[in-house]
Structure 1
């Protein structure tokens, strides 16, 4: 995802890993790691995204469980924080969305993402992706807009469409947990889109 005003920045906690412990959030991370195994991602043939959604949905969010990862840069629209690198085929990121801020409309560079709301509400707008080679100027077509609440889970990929995520609260931040395959997809570059014209711009790899 891309900041409204600047490209996202990735912060890492001191350990860059969720401790395997008795805390429910640590158990959630461990269960995801066990299901994916040593070499699988969300897009692997034998992996069911709905099963991962169910794993994430059964965890009840509690700020005390994950606040150590919730670092926020108030100069940016949102801040991405590494929770766990999983197995090299996927990673877990906790995103802090500043009040009234969100992402630009973007694709996922062929990545897959499962998102769980941890705190606050987030509005996701999904758009039809323009046909390849379409040079006409027209507004992007909205497929669906959904407001997600704490503990709700959703899934997005380029096969579903483009999307934008936005924190509608003007005074309070929102937090969400994201499982990505491949990890760090933004490092491969991706596209952002103009809602009014459907025109895209390539965001080069970020290092």
Structure 2
């Protein structure tokens, strides 16, 4: 599956989302992401790409779309803070290398939030991590622990413009900080391979 077909699948799923259960949405996104991330042509593109820094986020579809397909490059040792996904449904897979995902649940809510680790998962090409609005499938961090670059593909069925990061405070709790989602490049999908992929 090439990037155009992936974007078309996400667009079609978005337009039909009202008729689908969350699990049906995850199944559709997972199938498309598995095809996309196991394509040798797409993996070759990721291997040849020259990221602009230790962390590079590329929007593959139009910024005007109501959904997002994002390609993220992670330098060795680079990770994200704990963050949510603004209640969108989505899915993540790896295009190159592997990243570790740790999901968290919220134990208490107030000025400070207590989080508990609920699962760890290795995201690799063809392995999907779902994003669902429930706490234990919404909050996560990701990190590339390998000594080489990794690339992941994130699909958000509802475009994320603002989300929350969770910052540690003394005593082991966390406070939330609202953050804008930014991209290093837009509509990069036009430079990715299109047409039949292996």
TM-score range, shorter chain: 0.7 to 0.9
Q: Deviations over 1:66-86 (max 9, x none)?
A: 727945232x4x211011138
SS at match of 2:11: helix
Match of 1:178 in 2: 154
| 1:66–1:36 CA distance, 2 compared to 1 (3 A) | farther
Structure with higher RCO (Cα < 8 A, 6+ apart):
2
Residue 151 of structure 1 pairs with residue 115 of structure 2:
no
Deviations 1:151-203 (A, max 9, x none): 21121234124211111112x110111111321x2x32423232971312313
Give yes or no for the alignment of 1:198 onto 2:179. no
- Unpaired runs of 5+ in structure 2? 183-198
Q: Contact between 1:25 and 1:65, CA under 8 Å: does it hold in 2?
A: no
Alignment size in residue pairs: 174
Contact 2:111 2:175 in 1 (8 A): no
Greater strand fraction, Structure 1 or Structure 2 = 2
Q: Is the 8 A contact 2:82 2:141 kept in 1?
A: yes
Equivalent of 1:126 in 103, 106, 112: 103
Judging by fraction of residues, say which structure has more helix. 2
Q: CA offset at residue 134 of structure 1?
A: 6.9
Instruction: Using structure 2 for the length normalisation, give the TM-score.
Output: 0.72
- Structure 1 residue ranges without an equivalent (≥5): 1-22
The 3 A distance-change label for structure 1 pair 101 and 116 is same
TM-score by length of 1: 0.70
1:134–1:86 CA distance, 2 compared to 1 (3 A) = closer
List per-residue Cα deviations over 1:17-59 (Å, max 9, x = no partner): xxxxxx734333333333333xx56xx4526222221222233
On the 8 A contact 2:60/2:70 being kept in 1, the answer is yes
2:136 paired with 1:162 = no
CA 1:181–1:100: 2 relative to 1, 3 Å? same
Counterparts of 1:85 and 1:65, CA distance in 2: 22
